[in-house]
Chain A
Amino acid sequence: MEKIKFATIWLDGCSGCHMSLLDIDERLLEVFSKVELVYGPLVDFKEFPRGVDVTFVEGAISSNEDEEKILEIRNKTKILVSFGDCAVTSNIPGMRNYCKIKDIMQRAYIENADIKDKTPNIGIPHLMPQSRPIHEFVTVDVFLPGCPPPADVIYYTISELVEGRIPDLTGRTRFGQ
């Protein structure tokens, strides 16, 4: 059987969903006998490859770079999975949404700084006025909420996708799980 091309990425998230992915433990061996990991935080490719079958996207869209990435991923992916609460609802990153960016930067880099209180502005992506869920930018095929989604549900989702089925996640995981 030909392996499906599998990619993961985290945008504005904490990596917790990826940790939960690793928490499927020994079943990872079974998963990786059926999928080929072509892109991810631990894979050393700079460019997101073409013709990916399944991409798990963790994290909200919070900067112009996130937006560019999600549009690119959508173009190059058959099935896009909104992976975890930040991707689905914007969750923690979205808690800044009622604040002005200027105030957030002031709080993070000036008021809370012990040394070098200066707002970084060179070579970094610019924050958008709000952190938004990814389905507000691109079409999402599977929603997998949870903070993080439980390992069993992640395993179930991948198993179904590998078999060419769209998983039914109704009742399996909830916001804030």
Chain B
Amino acid sequence: MMIAKKISQIQTLIIDGKEVGGRSDETILQVARENDIFIPTLCHLDGLSEYGGCRLCIVHVKGLPRLVPSCTTLVREGMEVTTNSEDIIEYRKGILSLLFAERNHVCSVCVSNGHCELQWLALKLGITHVEFPYIYPKMPVDATHDRFIADHNRCVLCGRCVRVCHEVEGAHTKDVMGRGITSRVITDLMNNWGESNTCTGCGKCVHVCPTGALSEKGKSVAEMEKRRQFLPYLKRMRERS
């Protein structure tokens, strides 16, 4: 059934001193990207719903008392947005550093080395070392599936796998269990992936994963390249029908 689209209005706003325009149903992130303004993201992925979890895309909006995630904040007429002040960049570096410290991101032996968004973001934001003490937790690796591996050492809890499985594949095999630092992505009700009777084996979760947390079996160090072209395509086709 076709739902009548809300009529969206054109809003004009200022991002980093530049006058830009966007529809009222667009987020600051979308409008910034349309105008080639760089805002780093991790949990955001074109084709999935916004989650606002990683907080890397935080921006300052004049008049608001705190920083807001640009991926979940809609543009409004007259907004004045700052995306890359020194403070904001420092916060982003802090967030990334915490992600590195929280699990075992041993890039040199990771299947995604060289194709990893976390690694790329660290390079882009100029992180040459992590100030926080590393936790080096003992994390499980689930290799029970015939074709895929879940390595929780590399997981950043961005939730992309959970969303793609629920929203696109419609299986909702993946979810997040626990709170805070004990959070973990689980399969079904915390079963082995290979024993899941909801997983369709489509592999979408593997390919939206920004790191080496989800990978295909048989890939060695630096061999796991993710292919995500299907996602915006699927979304467009569904919107059209």
Using a CB–CB distance below 8 Å, which chain A residues touch chain B? 82, 85, 88-92, 94-95, 97-98, 130, 132-133, 135-136, 140, 143-145, 147, 169-171, 173-176
Contact = CB atoms under 8 A, between A and B. Distances in A.
B110 interface: yes
Contact of A89 (B110, B123, B130): B130
A98 B153 CA distance: 12
B134 A133 contact: yes
B129 A140 contact: yes
Contact of A174 (B110, B123, B131, B134): B123
A133 B129 contact: yes
A174 B129 contact: no
B106 A91 contact: yes
- Name the 4 nearest CB pairs between A and B, nearest first: A176-B107, A147-B108, A170-B126, A97-B136
Nearest to A87: B129
21 contacts: A85-B107, A85-B108, A92-B106, A94-B104, A94-B136, A95-B106, A97-B136, A98-B136, A98-B138, A130-B136, A133-B134, A135-B131, A140-B129, A143-B129, A145-B128, A147-B108, A174-B107, A175-B105, A175-B108, A176-B110, A176-B114
Given A88-B129, A92-B108, A135-B129, A175 B136 contact: no
Contacts of B119: 174-176
Contact of B128 (A98, A132, A170): A170
B104 A95 contact: yes
Contacts of A170: 126, 128
Interface string B133-145: 1101110000000
Contacts, number: 69
A89 B136 contact: no
Given A143-B128, A145-B129, A170-B128, 14 more contacts: A89-B100, A89-B129, A91-B108, A95-B106, A97-B134, A98-B137, A132-B133, A173-B128, A174-B107, A174-B119, A174-B122, A176-B108, A176-B113, A176-B114
B64 interface: no
A92 B134 contact: no
A107 to B, nearest CB: 15
B122 A175 contact: yes
B109 interface: yes
B124 interface: yes
Interface in B80-134: 100, 104-110, 113-114, 119-120, 122-124, 126, 128-131, 133-134
